[in-house]
Structure 1
Amino acid sequence: MGAAGSSVLARFRLPTQSRPGWLGVAAVGLAAVALGAVAWRRARPGRRRRLQQVGTVAQLWIYPVKSCKGVPVSAAECTAMGLRSGHLRDRFWLVVNEEGNMVTARQEPRLVLISLTCDSDTLTLSAAYTKDLVLPIRTPTTNAVRQCRVHGLDVPGRDCGEAAAQWVTSFLKSQPYRLVHFEPQMCPRKSHQLKHVFRPSDEVAYSDVSPFLILSEASLADLNSRLQNKVKAANFRPNIVISGCGVYAEDSWDELLIGDVELKRVMACSRCILTTVDPDTGIMNRKEPLETLKSYRQCDPAEQKLYGKLPLFGQYFVLENPGTVKVGDPVYLLGQ
Structure 2
Amino acid sequence: MSGSSAAWGGFGLLPPLPQSRAAWLGAAGALALAALLGAAAWRWAGRRAGGSRLRRVGTVAGVFVYPVKSCRGVALQRAQATPMGLRSGDMRDRFWLFIKEDGHMVTARQEPRLVLIAVNCENGYLTLNAPEMKELCVPLKLSGTNPVYNCRLFGMDIQGRDCGDDAAQWITTFLNAQSYRLVHFEPPMVTRKSRDIFTTFRSTDEIAYPDCSPVLVISEASLEDLNSKMEKKVQMMNFRPNIVVTGCSAFEEDSWNKIKIGNVELKGTMACPRCILTTVDPETGIIDRKEPLETLKSYRLCDPSERQLYKSSPLFGWYYGVDKTGTLQVGDPVYKIVH
Shared fold (TM-score greater than 0.5)?
yes
Which of the numbers 178, 193, 208 marks the counterpart of 2:211?
208
Choose which of 98, 103, 111 in structure 1 pairs with 2:101: 98
Q: Displacement, 1:71?
A: 0.4
Deviation, structure 1 residue 312:
0.2
Q: In the aligned structure 2, how far is the partner of 1:121 from the partner of 1:236?
A: 29
CA distance in 2, matches of 1:152, 1:182: 17
**Aligned counterpart for 1:250 among listed residues 253, 257, 260:** 253
Matched, 1:187 2:206: no
Is the 2:83–2:204 Cα contact (8 Å) retained in structure 1?
no
How far does residue 129 in structure 1 lie from its aligned partner after superposition?
Answer: 1.2
Picking from 193, 198, 202, the partner of 1:199 is 202
2:172 maps to which residue?
169
Alignment pair present for 1:263 and 2:263: no
- The structural deviation recorded for 1:133 is 1.0
Structure 2 residue matching 1:282: 3-state secondary structure: coil
Shift of 1:121: 1.4
Q: Could you tell me how far 1:231 is from its partner in structure 2? A: 0.6
Q: What is the alpha-carbon distance in structure 1 between the residues aligned to residue 259 and residue 193 of structure 2?
A: 23
Partners of 1:192 and 1:234 lie apart in 2 by 26
Query: 2:134 pairs with 118, 131, 135, which one?
Result: 131
Is 2:277 the counterpart of 1:274? yes
Shift of 1:48: 3.9
Partner of 1:316: 319
Which secondary structure does the structure 1 equivalent of 2:55 belong to? strand
Q: State TM-score, norm by structure 1.
A: 0.86
Paired position in structure 2 for 1:34: none
- Determine if contact 2:95/2:185 at 8 Å carries over to the other structure: yes
1:12 equivalent in structure 2: none
- Partners of 2:96 and 2:138 lie apart in 1 by 13
Instruction: After TM superposition, give the deviation of residue 46 of structure 1 in Å.
Output: 6.6
Offset at residue 300 of structure 1 (A): 1.2
The unaligned stretches of length 5 or more in structure 1 are 1-44
> Match of 2:146?
143
Matched, 1:112 2:115: yes
Aligned counterparts of 1:116 and 1:161: Cα–Cα separation in 2: 17
- How large is the Cα RMSD of the aligned pairs? 1.1
Task: State which of 64, 70, 75 in structure 1 corresponds to 2:73.
Answer: 70
Poorly superposed stretches of 4+, deviation over 6 Å: none
Match of 1:121 in 2: 124
Matched, 1:236 2:239: yes
How far apart, CA to CA, are the structure 1 residues paired with 2:52 and 2:204? 25
Q: Which stretch shows the higher mean deviation, 306-315 or 196-205?
A: 196-205
d(CA) in 2 for partners of 1:267, 1:193: 14
Distance 1:209 1:65 in 2: 15
What are the Cα deviations for residues 110-132 of structure 1, in whole angstroms up to 9, with x where unaligned? 01011221112122111111110
Residue pairs, 1:37-52, within 5 angstroms: 47-52=50-55
1:47 Cα shift? 3.6
Letter in 2 for 1:193: D
Cα distance change of structure 1 residues 296 and 66 upon mapping to structure 2, 3 Å threshold: same
Q: Does 1:291 align with 2:304?
A: no
Who is 2:310 aligned against?
A: 307
Paired residue type of 1:181: H
Q: Secondary structure at the match of 2:211?
A: coil
Could you tell me which runs of 5 or more consecutive residues in structure 2 were left unpaired when the two chains were aligned.
Answer: 1-47
